[in-house]
Structure 1
Amino acid sequence: MGLVVTETMMPVNGIQVCLETFGERTEPPLLLLAGEASSMDWWDDEFCRRLAAGGRFVIRYDHRDTGRSTPFPAGATYSGVDLMNDALGVLDALGVPAAHLVGLSLGGALAQRIAVEHPHRVLTLTLIATSAGLGPDAMPVLAGVGAVAVRTVPATEVRVRTATDEVDWSNRRSAVAGIIAEVRARGGPFTPDEPQLRRLAERVYDRSADLAAARLNHRCAGYGPPVRDRLAAIDVPTLILHGTLDQRFPSEHPRELARVIPGSRLVWLEGVGHEVPPRAVWAQVLTEILGEPAEPLSPAP
């Protein structure tokens, strides 16, 4: 497509953050916020290129402790607010005063917080596979994986059991298999097949300093003080995209988001689980995010 793609390291909030941009800086900026302990690799390269081809300056980045961004030892005490400030710092580093925010799961929670606490930085809001004002009492169990949310406490007080507890996250083969198992457990019929997932998992592992530490630290960080009671103040166009098979956040979660955010629009992704939108629904997702005429909505689950 001839789109400009640039990866770079930038100082953000006293750490180094790895970020990548797609498209021309003259286009409206769009910031992609990945899920918990997830690097920017989870936003597919081609998906980013298609967003850029739709007239956006697309920015994706590695959360702290993921990808090539600054790693921390297990038990680090940063918070969900720090993760939000990193997202804002990425925009600052690029000289972007405000952007379209597209957040998945944890990224959706961070986007909500930005919209509430820094509304002047948000052009539009797209919330994917997330919940209303995630707080310590609002996080259900992720079916099939067993991950649970924990309050922000020292790592010595935390023990999170998951179905992949036996994975050796320092071993490439074991970690790759663990990532594949997690994605499959929370996905649906459109989840990528094993060879494609393996390529992604290997890329994630190879770009990560310490997967075990990142997973623990992000869970300990939490999402910061709840903002659910402040979501009614959001006054930018808000799109909620949610899979009909999402077991981590069943249908009541996106319905509640749509209820509390004024003028928001809920669009169901048929056959999608708790996952980055798979290629099978890209046409629908890209159409919705880019604001072109929408396809007919899927029936609610």
Structure 2
Amino acid sequence: MTEQKIEANGVTLCHETFGDPGDPPLLLVMGLAAPMIWWDDEFCTELAAAGFRVVRFDNRDVGRSSWLSGRSGLARAYLLRSAPYSIGDLAEDAAALLTGLGIERAHVVGASMGGMIAQELAIRYPRRVRSLTSIMSTTGSRFVGLPSFRAAVSMLARGPRNREEYVTQSLGTFRLIGSPGYPFDEGRLRQRAERTYDRGVNPGGVLRQLGAILSAPDRTAGLRRISVPSLVIHGARDRLVHVSGGRATARALRADLDVVPGMGHDLPPEVWPRVIAGIRRVAGLSR
């Protein structure tokens, strides 16, 4: 479990692998402003023990992958669908990462913005995706998956000026959007926030990634063309991406939908067994 870097689609992507190289590859794609370590080490280890070669990576503009330049006007992104880069570009990064690692086909799991990227990857490269699991994500339609007012405002808060502010802001965010049906593990989330800050926090990158989300077209028609085994997982109490986004995704994919009671816009350890069982099932590793 050592971080490595690879050139892919014109950017440098930091990545890490878990498990037996001979096991079926599984690509984990994380969301807005979220480095690969938000796929917890223990979660990745459990997925590896469940029979996968797990690959996680920092998307462009986050963590230790390439930080880009250019301003993203959010109003322009939403109204004119114009941004420094797109969800499609992020999907091309993921495809290039697989190529660079010598992986022809992979099971793909994406969370939040990562679910959008995973969906787009399956739309563009159906032969490279063995199964698709979309977690707490949406279709790109502007009529579903909308955040609550408080959650939307929290995403537009002023960026932190130092490590302490980042940790405090991160804890506040997850008190708001996290899973109210499960214990709030401040120690675990504080440690993750500290580690995230120490690996590199990029406020401009957050805006560019948000621009990619806001400028994205509706993927519903493309999702209907996907024929690989698919699963949609969503929290019943998600305040950032309303469960209607997951329901719309499942309808378009003709996929099973698992709405998890008490789960918000995160993956508390208590839901890991359920999520991992679902990933194994859609990947064909369980009977």
1:269-300 Cα shifts (integer Å, max 9, x gaps)? 1210011x210111111111112669xxxxxx
SS at match of 1:16: strand
* Aligned residue in 1 for 2:8: 12
Q: Which amino acid aligns with 2:199?
A: R
1:19-75 Cα shifts (integer Å, max 9, x gaps)? 000012111000001011211011000000010011100000001111111112351
On the 8 A contact 1:32/1:103 being kept in 2, the answer is yes
1:195-218 Cα shifts (integer Å, max 9, x gaps)? 2111000111111152x1121111
The 1-side partners of 2:201 and 2:90 are apart by: 18
On the 8 A contact 2:151/2:239 being kept in 1, the answer is no
The 1-side partners of 2:250 and 2:41 are apart by: 29
Q: Which amino acid aligns with 1:269?
A: V
Shift of 1:252: 2.5
Deviates most, 113-122 or 253-262: 253-262
* Aligned residue in 1 for 2:68: 72
SS at match of 2:152: coil
Shift of 1:257: 1.9
The 2-side partners of 1:25 and 1:249 are apart by: 34
The 2-side partners of 1:205 and 1:238 are apart by: 34
1:145-180 Cα shifts (integer Å, max 9, x gaps)? 325xxxxxxxxxxxxxx36624x4231111111111
On the 8 A contact 1:144/1:186 being kept in 2, the answer is no
* Aligned residue in 1 for 2:216: 224
1:93-150 Cα shifts (integer Å, max 9, x gaps)? 101011001000111111111111110110001010011x214565623453325xxx
Name the CA shift for 1:191/1:142 in 2 (closer, same or farther; >3 Å): farther
* Aligned residue in 2 for 1:152: none
**Greater per-residue helix proportion:** 2
> Where in structure 1 are there 5+ consecutive unaligned residues?
148-161, 295-301
* Aligned residue in 2 for 1:242: 234
Runs of 4+ with deviation above 4 angstroms: 135-139
* Aligned residue in 2 for 1:38: 34
Shift of 1:247: 2.1
Deviates most, 225-234 or 174-183: 225-234
> Where in structure 2 are there 5+ consecutive unaligned residues?
73-83
SS at match of 2:14: strand
| 2:176 is the counterpart of 1:169 | no
Name the CA shift for 1:232/1:79 in 2 (closer, same or farther; >3 Å): closer
The 2-side partners of 1:186 and 1:39 are apart by: 18
The answer to which structure, 1 or 2, has the higher relative contact order (CA under 8 A, 6+ apart) is 2
| 2:102 is the counterpart of 1:95 | yes
* Aligned residue in 1 for 2:88: 81
* Aligned residue in 2 for 1:126: 133
* Aligned residue in 2 for 1:283: 273
Choose which of 132, 143, 147 in structure 2 pairs with 1:141: 147
The 2-side partners of 1:169 and 1:73 are apart by: 19
SS at match of 2:120: helix
TM-score normalized with structure 2 length: 0.88
Identity of aligned residues (%): 37
* Aligned residue in 2 for 1:153: none
* Aligned residue in 1 for 2:170: 179
Shift of 1:192: 4.0
The 1-side partners of 2:51 and 2:149 are apart by: 37
On the 8 A contact 1:143/1:248 being kept in 2, the answer is no
Shift of 1:231: 1.4
Q: Which amino acid aligns with 2:241?
A: F
* Aligned residue in 1 for 2:249: 257
Q: CA RMSD in A?
A: 2.0
Shift of 1:183: 1.4
Shift of 1:220: 1.4
Name the CA shift for 1:119/1:43 in 2 (closer, same or farther; >3 Å): same
SS at match of 2:150: coil
The 1-side partners of 2:118 and 2:225 are apart by: 14
Q: Which amino acid aligns with 1:216?
A: L
Shift of 1:81: 1.6
On the 8 A contact 2:35/2:59 being kept in 1, the answer is yes
* Aligned residue in 1 for 2:264: 273
Name the CA shift for 1:125/1:200 in 2 (closer, same or farther; >3 Å): same
